[in-house]
């Protein structure tokens, strides 16, 4: 899972979303088509071209107060239209740890 911190050029090869962490509490959020943020991946705006990705990322980065560290992340869209994280890193960010927490939530 190459860290998105190393993401230098914007070139996407499939459906993608823009994700970040919410500034005040750090939780994972996704940029929506309504120029806002949601903690639910299913609300995310999907981009399919590099130009769309660049525009959505620029809009997300402009919200410096609301979100930190915005970047483009791959997703998969299944036959029913459901959005799934495109790699293990994003799966962990979206679904949570792959291990049990020492103290159950």
Please list the residues that pair with 74 across neighbouring strands: 16
Q: Which of 14, 26, 42, 62 binds another protein (CB under 8 A)?
A: 26
Task: Single out the residue of 10, 12, 21, 43 in contact with another protein (rule: CB under 8 A).
Answer: 21
Burial classification of residue 93, based on how many CB atoms lie within 10 Å of its CB (0-12 exposed, 13-18 middle, 19 or more buried): middle
Q: Which residues pair with 16 in a beta bridge?
A: 47, 74
Using alpha carbons, select from 38, 48, 59, 35 the residue that is nearest to residue 86.
48
Position among 50, 52, 77, 89 found at the interface with another protein (CB under 8 A): 89
Binding mask 47-66 for another protein (x = CB under 8 A): -----------------xx-
By CB under 8 A, residue 12 contacts another protein = no
**Shortest Cβ distance from residue 52 to another protein (Å)?**
23
User: Which residue, among 67, 83, 91, has the nearest Cα to 16 in the 3D structure?
Assistant: 83
DSSP string, 50-62: HHHHHHHHHHHHH
Interface with another protein, residue 96, by CB under 8 A: yes
The residues of the shown chain that bind another protein, judged by CB under 8 A, are 1-3, 5, 21, 23-28, 64-65, 68-69, 87-89, 92-93, 96-99, 101-103, 105
């Amino acid at each position: 899972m190459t860290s998105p911190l190393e993401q230098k050029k914007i070139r996407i090869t499939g459906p993608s979303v823009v994700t970040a962490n919410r500034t005040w509490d750090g939780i994972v959020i996704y940029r929506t088509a309504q120029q806002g943020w949601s903690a639910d991946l299913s609300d995310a705006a999907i981009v399919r071209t590099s130009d769309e990705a660049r525009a959505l990322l620029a809009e997300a980065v402009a919200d410096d107060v609301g979100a930190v560290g915005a970047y483009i992340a791959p997703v998969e869209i299944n036959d029913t239209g459901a959005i799934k994280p495109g790699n293990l890193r994003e799966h962990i960010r979206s679904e949570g740890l792959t291990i049990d927490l020492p103290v159950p939530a």
